[in-house]
Amino acid sequence: MNKLFNKIFTLLLLLIAVLAPIRSFCSPRQFDLYYFNPDSIQSNFSLLNREIDVFYKQAGLTGRFQAFTQKVDFDRMVKEKQPSLVFIPAWYYQQYGNSLELIPLLVPLHNGKPTYTKVLLMRRSASFSSKDLAGRTVAMTSMGPNTEKMLTSQFFKDYGLDFSASNIITTPKDADALFALALGQVDAALVGQATLAAVAHANQRISGVVKELIASSPVPMPLLCAVNGNLNESEINKLKQVFMDGGKQSSLPAFMEMLQINGWQNAQK
């Protein structure tokens, strides 16, 4: 009896060993995508999730989409449970791309350009100038630990503005900075032009409360990146083509419309 049991047990082990790689081969490849972009006007993450799921299914892909409002949450998850793809601000890639081993794949286009513009706003009742920022509170989304330096040396360098002496108040979303200014909670706000236009369209009183001080130099659009080691070259090329093809359709995928993306171009490292 023991010999028969041992034979049966051995056969079962052999069967499991044979079937395991077959099951693994037949299982659909998961291409999880993490999204973090505080400057986006889109805050309906559940709808965005559904539309990206539709896009994936139409392309024959499977994967989980997860959007993050807080940088700290994104930082933690991208390390704890690495995805295949991340969609992140350009400043995030500049500061953390090497340590996270991110491979830039594609840059989205907004109105045909790989850049957008941010505007420095003040209340219409205020009287200070754009160069009088010392001691002023400025609401904006974070650009990481080098926010003030990047503003001074990159996006407003042509205007001689120095943000090091101002008090930066970080907000989770771009629109939050605009609302903080409209309510008189801060002296100024730095927001994307698309955010200003969208909020002003939905709430016309905003236009009567705030005014533009100055516009930034072009700000790079976010990046679609692969996480090194989680995708092979064939998979990277396939995913790039899927997103590129989506941007070439006469009727763009709904998730692109939601994110105000009307095309893609290859990213440069």
For residue range 69-84, list pLDDT tens digits in order.
999 999 999 999 999 9
Q: Is the pLDDT of residue 185 over 50?
A: yes
List own/partner pairs for 232-239 with CB under 8 A and 24 or more apart.
235/29, 235/31, 235/84, 236/103, 236/105, 239/31, 239/61, 239/84, 239/85, 239/105
User: Is 209 a domain residue?
Assistant: yes
243-255: pLDDT as tens digits: 999 989 889 999 9
Does one domain contain both 224 and 191? no
Collapsed DSSP state (helix, strand, coil) of residue 67: strand
Same domain? For 45 and 172 the reply is: no
Same domain flag for 77 and 160: no
- Is the domain of 149 the same as that of 190? yes
For residue range 85-102, what is the model confidence (pLDDT) as tens digits?
A: 999 999 999 999 999 999
Q: Among 6-10, 89-93, 131-135, which is the least confidently predicted range?
A: 6-10
Domain-located, residue 169: yes
Single-letter amino acid code for the residue at 123: R
Mean pLDDT of 58-64: 94
Q: Do residues 213 and 92 both lie within one domain?
A: no
Q: Are 84 and 129 in the same domain?
A: no
Determine the Cα–Cα distance for residues 259 and 120; give it in Å rounded to an integer: 22
* Strand pairing class (137-140; 219-220): unpaired
CATH number of the domain within which 91 lies: 3.40.190.10
pLDDT computed for residue 130 by the predictor:
80
pLDDT value for 28: 61
Model confidence at 27: pLDDT above 70: no
Q: What is the pLDDT of residue 6?
A: 55
C-beta neighbour count of 188 within 10 angstroms: 24
Domain containing residue 192: 118-217
Domain-embedded: residue 101? yes
With 60 as the cut, is the pLDDT of residue 194 above it?
yes
What value does the mean pLDDT take over residues 118-145?
Answer: 90
Determine what percent of the chain is predicted with pLDDT higher than 70: 89
Is 37 a domain residue?
A: yes
- Give residue 131's pLDDT band: very low, low, confident or very high (50, 70, 90): confident
Residue 158 DSSP code = G
Same domain, residue pair 212 and 145: yes
If asked whether residues 38 and 77 sit together in one domain, one would say: yes
Last residue of a domain, one of 196, 217, 238: 217
Q: Which residues of 219-246 are buried (b: 16+ CB within 10 A; e: fewer)?
A: bbbbbbbbbeebbeeeebebbbebbeeb
CA distance 175 to 38: 9
Q: Indicate whether 33 pLDDT > 80.
A: yes
Q: Is residue 5 domain-resident?
A: no
On whether residue 87 sits in a domain, the answer given is yes
Structural domains counted in the chain: 2
> Could you tell me if residue 72 is inside a domain?
yes
pLDDT of residue 19: 44
The yes-or-no verdict on residue 13 having pLDDT over 80 is no
If asked whether residues 225 and 108 sit together in one domain, one would say yes
- Centroid of chain to Cα 233: 23
